[in-house]
Amino acid sequence: MGPHIRVLVPLAPGVEEMEAVTVIDVLRRAGFEVVAAGVDGTEPIRASNGVVLVPDASLADVLEEPFDLLAIPGGIPNTERLRATEPLLAVIRQRFEHGHWVAAICAAPRVLDAAGIVQKIELTSHPVVAESLGHARAYREDAVVVDGKVVTSRGAGTALPWALELVELLAGQERRRAVEKMLALP
């Protein structure tokens, strides 16, 4: 199965459920340990389209633990709340400075912006927040953009390619193919 890989997925009310559930599910299928961590502890979270998600842990309790990847789903209310969570922003800055994996999808690249790293990277995002990210080193419209150890994606419609790219980047092409086979991906 390869090395043990731990992933942190922070969640706040209004998270885009397709993005959150897709990245959690795909990475767990790949054999990764994924911790879905709620900004408000382990209270159930109502996502952007009404699906209720139950976090595994409180973000405050696990934020300082070692993780191989920090993967941030989008949804405007979720990302606004995460943008205002200074301990999370500090961890993003630290991960970026030390060359550790960070991923963000949809509106979540705005969380990377709040952490002060956007001007240093090429990225993509949901078109609705593209203008606010115009100061990135480069803004691209690809489904998934990998720049160093930062992986960004467009939105709910690109959540699966984003999650599969994360599997490949952290565990290799063979593991990605195994997950694609599990998913019956054509």
* Banded pLDDT at 186 (limits 50, 70, 90): confident
Residue 162 is encoded by which pair of tokens? 């984003």
The residue from 9, 82, 102, 106 that is catalytic is 106
Condensed to tens digits (0 to 9), the pLDDT of residues 115-142 reads: 999 999 999 999 999 999 999 999 999 9
CA 183 to chain centre: 20
| CATH number of the domain to which 89 belongs | 3.40.50.880
Condensed to tens digits (0 to 9), the pLDDT of residues 48-98 reads: 999 999 999 999 999 999 999 999 999 999 999 999 999 999 999 999 999
Catalytic (active site) residue 106? yes
Q: Please tell me the total count of domains within the chain.
A: 1
Is position 1 within any domain? no
CA angle at 105 for the pair 102 and 106, rounded to the nearest 5° = 150
Q: What is the pLDDT of residue 2?
A: 60
* Banded pLDDT at 7 (limits 50, 70, 90): very high
Q: What is the pLDDT of residue 30?
A: 98
Give CA–CA dist 143/154, Å, rounded.
Answer: 6
Q: What is the pLDDT of residue 48?
A: 97
Domain limits for position 143:
6-182
Is position 27 within any domain? yes
Q: What is the pLDDT of residue 56?
A: 98
Mean pLDDT of the chain: 97
Is position 31 within any domain? yes
Phi and psi torsions of 130, nearest 5°: -55, -45
Global confidence as pTM: 0.97
* Residue 180 near residue 164, CB atoms below 8 Å: yes
* Banded pLDDT at 143 (limits 50, 70, 90): very high
The CA-based dihedral angle spanning residues 40, 19, 9, 96, taken in that order and rounded to the nearest 10 degrees: -120
